[in-house]
Structure 1
Amino acid sequence: MPLVTSKEMFQKAYEGGYAVGAFNVNNMEIIQGIVEAGKEENAPLILQVSAGARKYAKPVYLRKLVEAAIEDTGLPIVLHLDHGENFEICKACVDDGFTSVMIDGSKHPFEENIAITKQVVEYAHERGVVVEAELGKLAGIEDNVKVTEREATFTDPDQAVEFVERTGVDSLAVAIGTSHGAYKFKGEPKLDFERLEKITKMLPGFPLVLHGASTVLPEFVESCNKYGGSIPGAKGVPEEMLKKAAGMGVCKINIDTDLRLAMTASVRKYLAENPSEFDPRKYLGAGRDAIKEMVRHKIKNVLGCNGKA
């Protein structure tokens, strides 16, 4: 099976009231852990590459690893560019074989965001590639995405309708209170479901996306801290909130921080318990296993996409 786009994947998710997990990938072990979970749960997957991942691993290595994952599992997999900051990066990924790209023009004024998104849409659609865009700004830090709490703005429903109509974009990332990184909330977690419901009603059948949607699972934070880490007060989006969003038109939920925490916690634990070990296969293997179990948990208990491949 070749790489697929998210078009049919999102249609099934919207109609079925579930979401597809979009997992950020940076190396072989992360990819293997994710796709092994997907295979066991027979779930569709979106493997996404950020600017940081492109710089770290080089696009050609990641693309070949994803191709190997498809050959190994036979799963429907989307190769997606996460947070493309300009037309040139999106074009390069389209030309390089990605089946989905995100143009993030949310830092620009509304009209400029529309213009750059439309440019990407026209180029990508001519080549059979789908496009995600973003309206509203999520707070937090992840790779090269840095938005302060003061700069963050929620998505305006009326603007969302106009944006989709004028750009022809295939999916839209909305800002309803999630944020990037491990420190998503200072107080009690809260998402603006009233806003999400309004956007969904005004864009019936249209797939929405949640960025910054890691739960920051406490067991991984505790393990990191126990074995030498320092991640005090990290807090993410409760899983029940993500499940609720998946039934309200959100067809794609981005998960990155939880992957990082799962791998880091397991590597720290393994090295602490095996101080004489220096074989990377051993500690990276432990990280891979942790990612696999975490992704299986997300697929079954949060996303609801198990058995949907």
Structure 2
Amino acid sequence: MTLATLAEVLGPAKAQGYAVAGLVTLGWEDMRAYVAAAEAEGCPVILQAGPSCRAHTPLRILGKMFRHLADEASVPIVAHLDHGYTFDECKEALDSGFTSLMFDGSRKPLDENIAETAAIAEMAHKAGISCEGEIGFVGYDNGEASAGTDPVEAARFAAETGVDAMAISVGNVHLQTDQSGGLDGDRIAAIQALTDVPLVIHGGSGVPAAQRRSLAAGTNICKFNIGTELRQAFGHALRNAVNCDPDRFDRVQILRDTHDPVVAATRTVLRTMKG
């Protein structure tokens, strides 16, 4: 069994100059492909259940799926709640076997975000698991605008919440379908100068691969969340599997054909974080 907490995989990453991928899952097909890729690359992986995943599959089922994959895996697997918005949701994830809780209070006033994140971090730590929080707001491509992380506020947030990892807004956006952007190195350096907590980049699909490598090797960024990039790979593979034969109808057969392409795409992603 290789079930791990977020702190257990980010500690070595920070010390040794690499990052761990937080891979956004939507179902069995992608999560098993992610684990297969991690085993092929010999690295840990964080399986993430975000809001859209939880809307499709109950948390208690996702917890069992993640833990089953960890039981069979040869590399560390973190069962991570991504963007939990309430205490009750985080408590349900904890009770469902998750080993890491990400509470997103980034839309709230600073004091409220700190107080609520601290309460969830305390709950997580009492149960022997990890907590990630977010300071600043990471926006959405063609949607809500970002609010960049203030370094002084980030230092206060890290100190007062006790989180194991801190998501920051430094030019990253969710749901970006290309890598035309880039992160603000000066803001990252200013944050890192004031706090030593492991840093997390949400919306990692929009960060150029070369910058992922350099930041993993040279900063305290220890986790990149990747969703859109791999959803695109799955979508292309599924479309090819359906269109290759108009008489195909067996869902299991069709979905089986997505496995190898998603494993290959995931292995490429994992290599960008090895520093």
CA distance in 2, matches of 1:117, 1:159: 14
2:156 is matched with: 162
CA distance in 1, matches of 2:252, 2:97: 30
CA distance in 2, matches of 1:277, 1:117: 49
- Quickly say closer, same or farther: Cα 1:50–1:271, change in 2 above 3 A: same
- The superposition leaves residues 147-206 of structure 1 with CA deviations (integer Å, 9 ceiling, x where unpaired) of 512xx2110111111111111111100000111113578xx52311111012112213x2
In structure 2, the residue corresponding to 1:179 is in which secondary structure? coil
Question: Scaled by the length of structure 2, what TM-score is found?
Answer: 0.94
In structure 2, the residue corresponding to 1:7 is in which secondary structure? helix
Q: Is contact 1:22–1:254 with CA below 8 Å preserved after alignment? A: yes
In structure 1, the residue corresponding to 2:229 is in which secondary structure? helix
Q: Is contact 1:26–1:62 with CA below 8 Å preserved after alignment? A: no
Give runs of ≥4 in structure 1 deviating > 4 Å: none
Higher mean C-alpha displacement, 68-77 vs 118-127 = 68-77
- Note the residue ranges of structure 1 that are not aligned, 5 or more in a row: 215-235
Q: Percent identity?
A: 34
CA distance in 2, matches of 1:211, 1:45: 15
Amino acid at match of 2:190: K
Higher mean C-alpha displacement, 122-131 vs 98-107 = 122-131
CA distance in 2, matches of 1:83, 1:147: 17
Question: Scaled by the length of structure 1, what TM-score is found?
Answer: 0.84
- Quickly say closer, same or farther: Cα 1:54–1:113, change in 2 above 3 A: same
2:213 is matched with: 243
Amino acid at match of 1:241: Q
2:273 is matched with: 303
Q: Is contact 1:137–1:147 with CA below 8 Å preserved after alignment? A: no
Higher mean C-alpha displacement, 130-139 vs 4-13 = 4-13
Amino acid at match of 1:246: A
Higher mean C-alpha displacement, 282-291 vs 37-46 = 282-291
1:23 aligns with 2:46: no
**1:281 corresponds to which of 252, 255, 265:** 252
Superposition deviation, residue 2 in structure 1: 4.9
Q: Is contact 2:151–2:190 with CA below 8 Å preserved after alignment? A: yes
CA distance in 2, matches of 1:103, 1:254: 15
2:203 is matched with: 212
CA distance in 2, matches of 1:102, 1:84: 6
Amino acid at match of 1:163: F
In structure 2, the residue corresponding to 1:139 is in which secondary structure? coil
Q: Is contact 2:198–2:222 with CA below 8 Å preserved after alignment? A: yes
- The superposition leaves residues 224-282 of structure 1 with CA deviations (integer Å, 9 ceiling, x where unpaired) of xxxxxxxxxxxx32111211221211111101111211111011122222111112123
1:13 aligns with 2:13: yes
Q: Is contact 1:178–1:184 with CA below 8 Å preserved after alignment? A: no
Superposition deviation, residue 55 in structure 1: 1.9
In structure 2, the residue corresponding to 1:180 is in which secondary structure? coil
1:224 is matched with: none
CA distance in 2, matches of 1:171, 1:58: 25
